[in-house]
Amino acid sequence: MTIVLHNHDLLADAYAIRLFLALAGIPHDTRTVAILPGDGADTPAYRALAPAGTVPTLVDGDVVLTRPVAMLVHLAERRAPAGWLPAEPAARAAVFDWLAFAAGDLRALEDARLRAMFGRPSELADPLAAARAAFRVLEGHLVRRTLDGFATVAGDRPTIADVALFPAVALAADAGLGMEEFPRLAIWARGIHALPGFVTMPGVREVV
């Protein structure tokens, strides 16, 4: 049965799923969902799939997922070639740790981005400052990983953790956050950009 991704092209969460589907070579259909109030995400038909009206939503047979981290884990375990979610316990735990970071601390970047682009309010007093702090954490981690001989955030090859983290870094300029103070992050992002099957979205720079 074909996977269906209910998508909006300008949302970072949706981009993470599109990117992984492309990198892993997973066949799928994409359906665009409007995110304006009263349309698309607010319709009864869409709410039947995603009760909170969140975008993206992934439908894989009887499995319906509305959270990007859950989508990445499901796809890595059930649909993707081996390696995107390591079997080795320590590497696997590290992947889940960075997935949580992507869904938590790094969410500030998307808040700052949507506020800058569309005036969308944020629950954070200063999402740009919070995003910068999260970027510093990731920069420091990648510096340490480089010193240990690794080019990715966890394990010895790209994983779904890298995919989950990439959109925030690639779209940082939309929020007004430059990469000059995060040189290792920029190198890591270029490595993701160079992976076979990579797809882009509006706003992704070559710095990326």
Residues 137-165 pLDDT 10s: 999 999 999 999 999 999 999 999 999 99
- Identify whether residues 177 and 142 lie together within a single domain: yes
Element (H, E) at 28: strand 28-32
Whether residue 106 has pLDDT greater than 80: yes
Range list of H helices, 149-182: 160-170
Q: In terms of domains, do 44 and 63 share one?
A: yes
DSSP code, position 81 = P
Domain boundary among 79, 99, 121: 79
Model confidence at 43, in pLDDT bands (50, 70, 90)? confident
121, 185: one domain = yes
Pairwise CA distance, residues 38 & 9, whole Å: 19
In a shared domain, residues 100 and 190: yes
Same domain, 39 and 72: yes
Give the β-pairing of 63-65 and 57-60: antiparallel
Same domain, 57 and 11: yes
In a domain, 208, yes or no: no
Flag whether 101 is in a domain: yes
Query: Average of pLDDT values for 97-116?
Result: 91
Domain annotation covers residue 84: no
Asked if 75 and 94 sit in the same domain, the reply is no
- Given CA atoms 195, 196, 200, 205 in this order, what sign does their dihedral have? positive
Question: How far apart, in whole angstroms, are the C-alpha atoms of residue 120 and residue 193?
Answer: 28
Taking a C-beta distance cutoff of 8 angstroms, is the pair 160, 95 a contact?
yes
Confidence grade of residue 37 (pLDDT, cut at 50, 70, 90): low
The C-alpha atoms of residue 141 and residue 66 are separated, in whole angstroms, by: 29
Q: Which domain holds residue 10?
A: 3-79
Same domain, yes or no: 45 and 114: no
* Tokens representing residue 115 in the block: 């506020």
- Quick check: helix, strand or coil at residue 91? helix
* Nearest alpha carbon to residue 166 among 9, 12, 8: 12
